[in-house]
Structure 1
Amino acid sequence: MAAVFPQRYFVSGLRRAVAFLTLPPKTENDAPEPPSFFEELKSGLRYTVHFSGLRMMILMACFLNFFGSGASILLQPLFLNTPGYGIQKYGLAAGAVCAGNLFGMLLTSVIRIPRRKRMVFFLSSAFADTALNALFPFFGVRTGILLLCVAGIGNSVVNMLILTSVQQSTAEEMRGKVFSLIAVGGQGIAPLGIAAAGAAAEWLCPRDLIFGCYFINLLLFLFFAFQKPFREFIQFDLELSRPGGNSG
């Protein structure tokens, strides 16, 4: 205990020393204060409204996160209440998803996907992500865990393609604002999806709910894939001018 008291006196003395510090008055040459978080968010929102491809992507991400987060929260009760599964298998399933995500990131960092084939990779990866997540509860444990691993690879490839398109198509001074908007929209909708899935689980089987959530996500992927602004966004070409007012 003896060593605690000198630290307390040190902190107290430091506080007193800081109290006597004075800051020089601001001059006209001082740099302006950085904008607040909400100002950055509004600026990114204004930019996104006039960029149809990016706007569709954020809208799609919100829907996908709503149903995806709802399905993910149902995994634990599914494993706990299904004979032959159990909490240990749940840990293996979660690890398989993480391993698939890691492998997918490594894959996309090694393999360069040509611009004209990005949509093919996007759709095939989205199909693997949604279809395998929807079907794994209807298989045995080992097969189901393998399907989740492959689904994790597809999910990682989809995310990497989207992030690459955002980075390439967004003006440099707006990237941070756009990524903040994506994070707020995606993470903000997740609690609503979890609450809705929890309420629906009172009447429906978790297995059926998981299947339904990912089937809806599959339909969402297909819907946005047929929208021309979204396809142009995924296959964005750096040689073309960045759309500052491309409303497609």
Structure 2
Amino acid sequence: MDNLNKFKDDNKLWNKNFFLLWQGQLVSCLGDAFYSIALGFWVLDKTGSSTIMGILMAAVSIPRIIIGPFAGVIVDRFDRKKLILLSDFIRGIGMLFVGYATFNDFLEVWMVIVIGVICGICSAFFNPAMSSIVPDLVSNNNLLKANSAQQMATSTTNLVGTMSGGFIYSIFGAYAMFLFNGISYILSTISEVFIDVPKIEKKNTQLTLKEDFKEGLKFTFKLKGLVILIGVALGLNFFFAIFSILMKPWFNMDPSLGVAKYGIITAFESVGIIIASILLTNININPQNRSKVMLSSLFLQSIFFFLGVFINKFYIMCVCFFIACFFNTVSNTVSTSAMMLTIPQDMRGKVMSIATTCCMAIHPIGTLIGGVLGDIFDPRIIIIICFTICIIGTIPIFFSKITKKVLNYNPETQTLEDIKN
């Protein structure tokens, strides 16, 4: 324990290790935002096909879904810092190649797909490794703030990328934005070289990868409250996937809305996420109050999304979606932080990757079902039904004592045995 605590500073969130990790993520997330926008324009210019864009997105996500659970096992067995450095470096080289090929006018769609698959594999290892080390770099009291700071970095860069990406593309072209993304990953790699990451105290070292994976599943299902939280995340991701895929046709079909207002409301959502992240980065939430904060936010996010869609007045919708995304960020950050505290260091990679992969896998299913329903019924009606189900489905969780135990778990005063029943 003393060996682990030397990497933390109980009085500082922005210690050297976390700051280096955060600033690297900030730069690479901005690069990703630019890359995503430039890639969309490049595909349309090159092929004129939105189907190709869907294939490219699948090329990145499918490897993460397939490899994700097993990547977490490897993260718990090997040097997490080396996995993070290698993942970012490979992605950087891949993005630099895409930029170079675009500049010299020999980039083909199949090349982008191959790079997308490679980057997806790297992400499958990078994400659980990142989730695994954050609790080791900051104190338990600062973990919620650390997760909020990371969410703030992602949301801010997405907003900046969305607002400026088209303008930058029109001036410099796709190659410059591709190169920027590659450089951002290399800079992130350089920053991460100087991070001190504690070694995992390995247990059951004789286990095979298959047995180790089973250990992660066994641990997860022993904590019923943790299973409920993962189940809630699965359900919400499913309905939010339907919501996200139907928003564009809804706005496109409604003469009072339109494409321009879609961009405005997306900005309101991003600002709600950013403000919630800034707030959570600067306040302390008592462990005993985490369940109250998380469950209330979980309920309120569905209420405000429902109200925005149901009332269907643009300015009211902007306010409701802003508030809904604010509470969505609070509930996600608090629940993720609670899960990180609950999972032991040597289990964190595989358990978090199992949860993340399940949530990722449900998203394409939701978008597929949402797309089919949107072709048959009024998209707005489908969205209203989805949020109605979310509101009703959230209510029983308020009465789940085992879920509250997981959310309120304090490793400094409790043991895992205290929350298993």
For the criterion TM > 0.5, the same-fold answer is yes
Q: Could you tell me which of 320, 325, 332 is aligned with 1:152?
A: 325
SS in 1 for 2:285: coil
Task: Tell me how far 1:183 sits from its aligned partner.
Answer: 0.9
Question: What is the distance in 2 between the residues matched to 1:228 and 1:245?
Answer: 10
Q: Could you tell me which of 77, 81, 95 is aligned with 2:267?
A: 95
Task: Tell me how far 1:41 sits from its aligned partner.
Answer: 4.5
2:368 equivalent to 1:195? yes
Q: TM-score by structure 2 length?
A: 0.48
> Which of the two has greater helix per residue?
2
Contact 1:51 1:243 in 2 (8 A): no
Q: Which residue is 1:212 aligned to?
A: 385
Letter in 2 for 1:95: A
Q: Which residue is 2:293 aligned to?
A: 121
SS in 1 for 2:376: coil
Change (3 A) 1:234 1:244: closer
Letter in 2 for 1:241: T
Letter in 2 for 1:70: I
Aligned residues between the structures: 216
Contact 1:41 1:180 in 2 (8 A): no
Task: Tell me how far 1:154 sits from its aligned partner.
Answer: 0.3
Q: Which residue is 2:232 aligned to?
A: 60
Letter in 2 for 1:242: L
Q: Which residue is 2:305 aligned to?
A: 133
Task: Tell me how far 1:90 sits from its aligned partner.
Answer: 0.5
Q: Which residue is 1:175 aligned to?
A: 348
Please give the per-residue CA displacement for 1:184-239, whole angstroms capped at 9, x wherever unaligned.
11000111111111222233211111111112112222222211111111111221
2:240 equivalent to 1:240? no
Unaligned runs of 5+ in 2: 1-103, 105-204
Question: What is the distance in 1 between the residues matched to 2:349 and 2:363?
Answer: 21
Contact 2:308 2:320 in 1 (8 A): yes
Contact 2:251 2:259 in 1 (8 A): yes
Q: Which residue is 1:165 aligned to?
A: 338
Change (3 A) 1:166 1:198: same
Q: Could you tell me which of 246, 252, 255 is aligned with 1:83?
A: 255
Q: Which residue is 1:112 aligned to?
A: 284
Q: Which residue is 1:9 aligned to?
A: none
Question: What is the distance in 2 between the residues matched to 1:217 and 1:42?
Answer: 31
Question: What is the distance in 2 between the residues matched to 1:106 and 1:40?
Answer: 38
Question: What is the distance in 2 between the residues matched to 1:69 and 1:91?
Answer: 18
Contact 1:132 1:148 in 2 (8 A): yes
Letter in 2 for 1:233: V
Q: Which residue is 1:8 aligned to?
A: none
Q: Which has the higher contact order (CA 8 A, sep 6+)?
A: 1
Change (3 A) 1:241 1:70: same
Contact 1:122 1:161 in 2 (8 A): yes
Question: What is the distance in 2 between the residues matched to 1:179 and 1:134?
Answer: 30
Unaligned runs of 5+ in 1: 5-31
Letter in 1 for 2:275: F
Question: What is the distance in 2 between the residues matched to 1:100 and 1:245?
Answer: 33
Question: What is the distance in 2 between the residues matched to 1:50 and 1:244?
Answer: 12
Letter in 1 for 2:265: A
RMSD, aligned CA: 2.3
Change (3 A) 1:200 1:165: same
Task: Tell me how far 1:115 sits from its aligned partner.
Answer: 2.2
SS in 2 for 1:193: helix
SS in 2 for 1:73: helix
Q: Which residue is 2:315 aligned to?
A: 142
Q: How does 1:37-48 map to 2 (within 5 A)?
A: 41-48=213-220
Which structure's CA Rg is the greater one?
1
Change (3 A) 1:45 1:189: same
Q: Which residue is 1:29 aligned to?
A: none
Please give the per-residue CA displacement for 1:108-129, whole angstroms capped at 9, x wherever unaligned.
1111112232222123211221
Letter in 2 for 1:151: A
Contact 1:51 1:244 in 2 (8 A): no
Deviating runs (4+, > 6 A) in structure 1?
none
Change (3 A) 1:40 1:135: farther
Q: TM-score by structure 1 length?
A: 0.80
Question: What is the distance in 2 between the residues matched to 1:94 and 1:35?
Answer: 46
Letter in 1 for 2:414: L
